[in-house]
Amino acid sequence: MRILPKHLLQAWVERLRVDHRVVAPRESHGQYIFDEITSADELVLDYHSSVLPPKKYFLPPREDLFTFNAKTMEMSPVIEEIQPTVIMALHTCDLHAIQLLDRIQGTGHVDQHYQARRRKTTLVSIECMEPCMAQAFCKSLGTLSVPEQFDVHLTDLGDRYAVDVGSDAGEALIRGMGFFWKPSDADYDRFNEVMAGKWPNFDYRLDCDVTDLPNLLGASHDSALWDEIGERCLSCGQCTKVCPTCYCFDVVDEIDLKLEKGKRVRVWDSCLLEKFAVVAGGHDFRNSRANRLRHRFMRKGKYQLEAYGLLGCVGCGRCALSCPAHITPIATLNTLNERRQASPGESA
């Protein structure tokens, strides 16, 4: 651990900007967004949550994959020039989300575009001292603390930050800098005091243990609740757009008016949209809003854990905040658990 005095934070950020693109939360129209900053003055560390998660820097909402000539059948891959990037002030829930994306995008058919961006990016996270919104349930999902894999992590000690380094990439961000010093016994005492004091600020929001979520969802596959909340769902896909772990995409070809030159583009997609599961021949194997909602919850609390060993939800609360129909993970999961307890052995 190192110590960074708060009055030197901006100097450190400005030094990083010399040879890195620095991305950080900044205020925009009363909300917070991750964006490239042109001055350390724009950096906001005590933000409640960002509208979109920082995954957009690894999985852009839209990206060109290759160009083609429809007449000559020539194709040329689009190789993006990637600048070394530092993303500042990530909450620990977003760190857990990126850990899952790293595992998914690095398994099986590896996504080279994701990997190229990820290799060029170093993450500087910050400890959350109080809930960022009413719908957050990170403590229930075990994402309130930094995961095992991290680069640099900051903890606010009042007039200084405790700086933990967890990787070689993180060490490179502070090596040779004169802004950091070794901690004293008083710094360690203050760190332990701060960490002990944060936990009472967070409540367990789920009525079941996180380890029971796969069993709960499996037992609730045929629950009437899916039809009930399906009646309210607008199939707008807003929940998936703000989710830090969603990665579904569509691929479209765009061609000029002469039908000669074009490009293949990857764009974000959503499993909640009406036509998402339509296949050749017109069959739709998730043709109701209830089925699509159930699939989303199953993926977050069961399927991805079974496939990758990590839950697909990190409890950030963005989906609940953005849903115009007020469908929330906390209410949905707690209702399923309540019905299971009321009728054990039957579908919730």
Query: What are the C-alpha distances in Å from 80 to residues 24, 246, 249?
Result: 21, 23, 19
Q: What pLDDT sits at residue 282?
A: 87
Beta strands of 130-190 (E only): which ranges?
152-156, 160-165
Strands 152-156 and 2-5 come out as: unpaired
Q: What pLDDT sits at residue 343?
A: 82
Backbone angles phi, psi at 326, to 5 degrees: 60, 40
Q: What pLDDT sits at residue 242?
A: 97
Beta strands of the chain (E only): which ranges?
2-5, 21-28, 31-36, 62-69, 74-77, 85-90, 121-126, 152-156, 160-165, 249-255, 261-268
Determine contact, residues 278/257, Cβ cutoff 8 Å: no
Q: What pLDDT sits at residue 347?
A: 58
Residue with tokens 């944060």: 198
Nearest to 19 by CA among 132, 176, 245: 176
Backbone angles phi, psi at 137, to 5 degrees: -140, 45
The pTM assigned to this predicted structure is: 0.94
Q: What pLDDT sits at residue 345?
A: 65
Q: What pLDDT sits at residue 81?
A: 87
Strands 249-255 and 261-268 come out as: antiparallel
Q: Give Cα 150 distance to the centre of its chain.
A: 14
Q: What is the mean pLDDT of each run of 10 residues along the chain (348 residues)?
A: 95 96 94 95 92 96 95 91 95 97 93 94 97 95 94 97 97 93 96 96 95 96 96 96 96 94 96 91 91 96 96 97 97 96 72
SS3 state at 57: helix
Distance between CA atoms of residues 173 and 87, nearest Å: 12
The two tokens of residue 236 are: 């707008």
Backbone angles phi, psi at 338, to 5 degrees: -65, -45
Q: What pLDDT sits at residue 285?
A: 87
Backbone angles phi, psi at 21, to 5 degrees: -80, 125
